[in-house]
């Protein structure tokens, strides 16, 4: 026996189900019949629900994802008059460490380099660890790879992976850093879609929700599954949690793509500071002073709590941890991702000199 024989012992895994193959074929058939948005623009609110459990084919677009969210989260719907207006932003406390840090990030911004490089490392329990490189240029391009070599190849081929969704994320973060925080908050929450009608008139909000419900029903029908019953638009605290989930998910997505861009980083910190249910603590990690930003299951869809650890002096992300919610019937699995961020020159990325 040699190492290759040992390797083969790892080759047996549970295959995708026959239903999954059917769904994948349906996605292909749909794409062939009516070319839709580029796959890269499929965006869903992360951490709010288990995408596989939603059993929607990959043709689903953002609005569908949101509708699935509401179809799966359950819970009572508070009664009372609907309100479509944006709820007032919880004003960042003047002394909020995140707002203070955001100001320091802006003040300390340098012009070094022309791109942000973020290196993340995930390590699933049953699989090898995975390191991924993301470069976000100051011009808005996004290149990626799982090694400096594949990253260089992506950049040299100009394989720009930025989508309109990414552009919206980054614009919202910049607006938060340099402009109107309320406007930025709405833009970040609605970067993927606006099925809850944030900032819309009551009639427009009703239509947005109804359209999303109709779309998800259509997509379920396409894959031969019964459509879930339409749900009323969330209200009250459920609506607030829903929107804060989107704010957290989209803002942290921006951070993990463009952390070494001072505007992006400062804007994300200010945006996160507007989520009332986050808790900021202090810690030390690898000799660095750090802040922990904790969000509970209410913001994370019920199945997990998330703690983001950032450097207390420069705001750069260090660690993201996901903890299963003890009271959830379907708790998320624990997870950990480490991040290292730096300013780089795109030319050096292309040359493999990072």
Instruction: Report CA-CA distances (Å) from 83 to 207, 270, 352.
Output: 14, 25, 53
156 binds other proteins per the rule CB under 8 A: no
Rule CB under 8 A: which of 128-147 touch other proteins? 128-132, 134, 144-147
Residues 261-280 within binding reach of other proteins (CB under 8 A): none
- In the list 78, 93, 149, 281, the residue contacting other proteins (rule: CB under 8 A) is 149
Smallest gap from Cβ 38 to other proteins, in A, equals 8
Q: Are 243 and 189 in contact (CB under 8 A)?
A: yes
* Contact in structure between 60 and 49 (CB atoms under 8 Å): no
Tell me which of 116, 137, 190, 253 binds other proteins, using CB under 8 A.
253
Residue 14 or 329 having the CB closest to other proteins? 14
Would you say 42 or 208 has its CB closer to other proteins?
42
| Other residues' Cβ atoms within 10 Å of the Cβ of residue 98 | 24
Lookup: tokens for 212: 């999303």
In whole angstroms, the minimum distance from the beta carbon of 276 to other proteins comes to 22
List the interface residues with other proteins, window 287-326 (CB under 8 A): 320, 322
Residue 181: CB atoms within 10 Å: 19
Q: Interface mask (CB under 8 A) for other proteins, residues 330-349, using x and -?
A: --xxxxxxx-----------
Shortest spacing between CB 182 and other proteins, in angstroms: 27
CB of 181 to other proteins, least distance (A): 25
Could you tell me the smallest distance in angstroms from the CB atom of residue 83 to other proteins?
30
* 2 belongs to the binding site for other proteins (CB under 8 A): yes
Contact predicate 251/272, CB 8 Å? yes
Identified binder of other proteins from the candidate list 112, 121, 201, 282, rule CB under 8 A: 121
User: Could you say whether residue 4 binds other proteins (CB under 8 A)?
Assistant: yes
Number of residues this chain uses to bind other proteins (CB under 8 A): 72
> Residue holding tokens 């193959």?
21
Q: Which of 6, 94, 107, 111 binds other proteins (CB under 8 A)?
A: 6
Q: Is 39 left (phi over 0), alpha (psi -120 to 50) or beta?
A: alpha
Helix (H, G, I), strand (E, B) or coil at 210: helix
- Identify which of residues 73 and 84 has a Cβ nearer to other proteins in the complex: 73
User: How far out from the chain centre does Cα 70 lie?
Assistant: 17
Nearer to other proteins, 145 or 302 (CB): 145
**Residue 139 exposed, middle or buried by CB count within 10 Å (0-12, 13-18, 19+):** exposed
Within 15-96, residue ranges assigned H as helices are 18-33, 51-54, 62-73
Among 271, 274, 293, CA closest to 282: 293
Choice between 41 and 103, CB closer to other proteins? 41
Q: Which of 8, 279, 289, 353 binds other proteins (CB under 8 A)?
A: 8
56 torsion bin: left (phi>0), alpha (psi -120 to 50), beta (else): beta
Contact 62, 43 (CB under 8 A): yes
Residues 22-41 that bind other proteins (CB under 8 A): 23-29, 31-33, 35, 38-40
Site string for other proteins, 47-76 (x = CB under 8 A): x--xxx----xxx-----------------
CA-CA distance, 310 to 292, in Å (whole number)? Answer: 6
Q: Which is nearer to other proteins, 4 or 111 (CB)?
A: 4
Helix (H) or strand (E) holding 5: helix 3-9
Q: Which of residues 158-217 bind other proteins (CB under 8 A)?
A: 161
Supply 12's token pair.
């047996």
Nearest distance, CB of residue 292 and other proteins, angstroms: 16
């Amino acid at each position: 026996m040699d190492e290759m024989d040992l390797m083969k012992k790892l080759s047996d895994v549970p295959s995708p189900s026959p239903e999954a193959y059917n769904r994948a074929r349906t996605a292909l058939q749909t794409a062939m019949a009516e070319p839709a948005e580029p796959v890269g623009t499929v965006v869903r609110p992360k951490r709010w629900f288990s995408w596989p459990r939603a059993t929607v084919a990959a043709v689903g677009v953002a609005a569908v994802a949101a509708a699935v969210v509401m179809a799966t989260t359950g819970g009572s719907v508070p009664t009372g008059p609907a309100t479509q207006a944006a709820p007032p932003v919880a004003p960042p406390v003047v002394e909020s460490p995140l707002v203070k840090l955001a100001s320091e990030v802006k003040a300390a911004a340098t012009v070094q380099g022309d791109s942000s490089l973020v290196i993340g490392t995930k390590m699933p329990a049953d699989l090898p660890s995975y390191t991924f490189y993301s470069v976000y240029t100051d011009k808005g391009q996004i290149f990626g790879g799982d090694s400096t070599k594949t990253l260089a190849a992506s950049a040299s081929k100009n394989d720009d992976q930025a989508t309109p969704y990414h552009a919206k994320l980054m614009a919202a973060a910049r607006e938060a850093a340099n402009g109107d925080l309320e406007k930025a908050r709405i833009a970040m929450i609605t970067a993927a879609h606006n099925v809850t009608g944030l900032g819309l008139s009551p009639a427009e909000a009703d239509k947005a929700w109804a359209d999303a419900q109709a779309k998800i029903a259509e997509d379920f029908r396409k894959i031969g599954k019964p459509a879930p019953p339409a749900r009323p638009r969330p209200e009250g605290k459920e609506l607030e949690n829903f929107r804060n989930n989107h704010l957290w998910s989209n803002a942290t997505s921006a951070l993990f793509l463009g952390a070494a861009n001072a505007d992006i980083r400062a804007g994300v910190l200010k945006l996160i500071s507007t989520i009332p249910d986050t808790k900021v603590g202090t810690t030390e990690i690898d000799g660095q002073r750090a802040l922990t930003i904790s969000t509970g299951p209410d913001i994370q869809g019920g199945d997990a709590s998330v703690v983001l650890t950032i450097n207390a002096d420069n705001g750069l992300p260090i660690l993201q941890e996901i903890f299963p919610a003890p009271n959830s019937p379907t708790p998320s699995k624990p997870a950990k991702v480490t991040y290292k961020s730096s300013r780089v020159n795109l030319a050096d990325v292309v040359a493999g000199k990072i």
